[in-house]
A and B are shown apart, each in its own frame.
Chain A
Amino acid sequence: MSSIIIETSGLTRNYGDICALKPLDLVVPEGEWLTVMGHSGSGKSTFMNLVGGLDRPSAGSLRVGGKDLLAFTEDGLARFRREFVGIIFQQHHLVPYLTAVENVMLAQYFHSVPDEAEARSALERVGLGHRLKNRPGELSGGEQQRVCIARAIINSPKLLLGDEPTGNLDHKSTVMVMELLKELRAEEKFTVIMVTHNQEVAGWGDRTIYLDDGMLVREERKVEA
């Protein structure tokens, strides 16, 4: 019986008068690949930010990895994130003046200590062993996203969040990235929460939830064939 990694109750996020996320109750068991789908403005990114500790809920309770996120200070949330959460963005957000290895080492620096050997082997694992010393500007979209993946998992997080990671990629790169994620998840056994509006990507997950206007409207479970 797997334990529960995310547990929310009445999770709400308001921006002034606008309610981005209506009270949401959700339970995510450890090791699940959850896809969150919805149109833009449906609150899926908000949900991801809340779960990853990047944002504070306006109301409700939120427990991630057994820790109550509302009890953390802002710096406490940062410390929680560095050990527990890895995030992949649509826009890559790699530091432009650092090479691929150094970008991964940056994540190591904020976590504890930079370790070049480990960063190098992580990049090799994602298939970029030959592109270690290249700056982001010299890498293709797929390669950049792979560097982001390496950066996200270098600190062995229990939770991997992806905010439309394949949104800017072509089909081939998308498949490659998703394959990579599947492999890594099988090895490292982390939980994945992926936000997307692409139906195909959604098919990779174990469970899909649909958000519309901040509310959970549908839930689908992947049928194992």
Chain B
Amino acid sequence: MAMALKLIPHLIAWFGIVLIMLRGFSGRRSAVLLAGIFGFVIGVAGTLILYRSYPGSITFGVVKSTLGISFILLWGSSVFAIYRSTGRGKDTLRGERLISASSTACAVSCLASIVAGAVCACKLSSFATGGAIATVSLLLMLVSCCALAYAALAFEKRLPEPFRVSPAGMLAIVTALLLFSASSILRLDLFSPLSMKVMKGVHDFVHQFMESVLFPDHLFVRSYIWKSIGLLFSKEVGFWGGLIIWFTPAVLIVTAIAIQRLPSVAHIRQGAERRLQSAAAIRERRHRLVIPVLSVVFFAAAAYQSSFPSVEYWDPKPLPVTANQAGEIIIPKKGDIDLEDGKLHKYLFKQGEREARFFVLLSPTGELTVDLDACAICKPDGYGQAEGSVICYYCKTLIPLETVGKPGGCNPVPIAFSVKSESVVIDGTTLINSWGATVQATTRVKEGGK
């Protein structure tokens, strides 16, 4: 049951979400539980309906945007929490009453469950071969999630009383759990696109800056400055920048709770009593820290899953090919390897000292495309194929199979080719030159965009 194994992050996330909801809104347990299960079913059903009616990218886009919105909400609430805990914002009474209303509890629980359900449904649909999802697996998942919800109810009753969760903490852990479960799905993952956007943003910014401010003049700028500027172009910038953006809200919430001032005990006269209250307050604050710290852990787990996905990329070792007398590379469409089986096939071509890597792929529209195993922006780490898209190893961008073959962005650089008598014919020299130009461009970019 490999499928069951793959669902584990989602099941953990669902269990955690229900548990937190029950603990956070204690006193309305049954209402919250029912709202949760209801929301989950709606989420699953809604996503599957969307998936059937519209192409996959739209469904995934919708769910991804929802996750993005919740992350931004978390950012907002974390900034608010820090602001409040430094003692400035005072009018929180309105907010408190809103939070403790019963309708809020159900609404929040419902919303969170809808998203959780949507994510699970997306995972199911990625198992589906050819668009049809086995009803059995769907029912199994729904049943197991209901069972988990009741298990969470039983577990929550056993949890010691002192563990409480603040509203900000609840938002943090729910978002963390949702992102954790989403990051195991390639197309829903937020962390890699985030770090890639950061990298591209910094790249563009520095590029513009260099061009507009500094003239490309060796005399003024020393080489070590170019080296450090080159650093800004690497994918590390994206990674660390993305990491900072990723973790900051949860860390802010932890800090907000940690620096919160303890209730004053100076009014108690008897020393022992005063100390008891003080100790109790410290202990209570520590308990409130548990959930936000856990959310940091889950954020880290999500980032880890995103960086080391358990998806196996189809990435065949490049086969060496040679050019014939006329300098053309001929690859038969159906020989040892069937070029038209929808998977990418990589080749390595050497001409003297120079070499080039390229691959041949049949796109879903039925056309063959030949592209370099590198793109115009990133280092030529190559491409892999998984789950209906092609991924650039360097920047982890997903390129849908339909757009492979079109130039631009992180798409692999297309190569002109012709089909003669059931074989693909590629001009060797063009290939080598194209590769050289692309690789040179990306290496130059690393050295400072000159």
Q: Which chain A residues numbered 84 to 131 have a C-beta less than 8 Å away from chain B?
A: 108, 111-113, 115, 118, 122
State whether the Cβ of A155 lies closer than 8 Å to any Cβ in chain B.
Answer: yes
Chain A residues with CB under 8 Å of B271's CB are 115, 118, 122, 154, 156
Q: Which chain A residues numbered 141 to 178 have a C-beta less than 8 Å away from chain B?
A: 154-156
Interface residue count on the A side (C-beta < 8 Å): 11
Q: How far is the CB of B161 from chain A (nearest CB, A)?
A: 16
State whether the Cβ of A30 lies closer than 8 Å to any Cβ in chain B.
Answer: no
Q: How far is the CB of A224 from chain B (nearest CB, A)?
A: 30
Chain B residues with CB under 8 Å of A112's CB are 272, 275-276, 278-280
A156 touches B272 (CB 8 A): yes
Q: At the interface, is chain A mostly helix, strand, loop or mixed?
A: loop
Q: At the interface, is chain B mostly helix, strand, loop or mixed?
A: helix
Distance between Cα atoms of A83 and B276 in the complex (Å): 9
Distance between Cα atoms of A214 and B35 in the complex (Å): 66
Q: Which chain B residues numbered 248 to 288 have a C-beta less than 8 Å away from chain A?
A: 270-273, 275-276, 278-280, 282
B282 touches A154 (CB 8 A): no
Chain B residues with CB under 8 Å of A111's CB are 272, 275-276
B272 touches A155 (CB 8 A): yes
Interface residue count on the B side (C-beta < 8 Å): 10
Distance between Cα atoms of A154 and B282 in the complex (Å): 20
A interface footprint on B138-159 (CB within 8 Å = 1, 0 otherwise): 0000000000000000000000
Distance between Cα atoms of A142 and B280 in the complex (Å): 36
A113 touches B272 (CB 8 A): no
Q: How far is the CB of B276 from chain A (nearest CB, A)?
A: 5
B270 nearest in chain A by CB position: A156
B275 nearest in chain A by CB position: A112
Q: How far is the CB of A109 from chain B (nearest CB, A)?
A: 10
* Known contacts A83-B276, A108-B275; A113 and B282 CB within 8 A of each other: yes
Chain A residues with CB under 8 Å of B282's CB are 113
7 intermolecular pairs with C-beta atoms under 8 Å apart: A112-B272, A112-B278, A113-B275, A113-B278, A118-B275, A154-B271, A156-B270
A122 nearest in chain B by CB position: B271
Q: How far is the CB of B344 from chain A (nearest CB, A)?
A: 64
Q: How far is the CB of A206 from chain B (nearest CB, A)?
A: 25
Chain A residues with CB under 8 Å of B278's CB are 112-113
B280 nearest in chain A by CB position: A112
Q: Which chain B residues numbered 267 to 311 have a C-beta less than 8 Å away from chain A?
A: 270-273, 275-276, 278-280, 282
Distance between Cα atoms of A95 and B421 in the complex (Å): 96
Chain B residues with CB under 8 Å of A118's CB are 271, 275
Chain A residues with CB under 8 Å of B272's CB are 83, 111-112, 154-156
Distance between Cα atoms of A118 and B278 in the complex (Å): 14
Chain B residues with CB under 8 Å of A154's CB are 271-272
Distance between Cα atoms of A96 and B38 in the complex (Å): 65
Distance between Cα atoms of A112 and B283 in the complex (Å): 10
B273 touches A156 (CB 8 A): yes
Distance between Cα atoms of A118 and B268 in the complex (Å): 13
Distance between Cα atoms of A111 and B270 in the complex (Å): 14
Chain A residues with CB under 8 Å of B275's CB are 108, 111-113, 115, 118, 155
Chain A residues with CB under 8 Å of B276's CB are 83, 111-112
Chain B residues with CB under 8 Å of A115's CB are 271, 275
Chain B residues with CB under 8 Å of A156's CB are 270-273
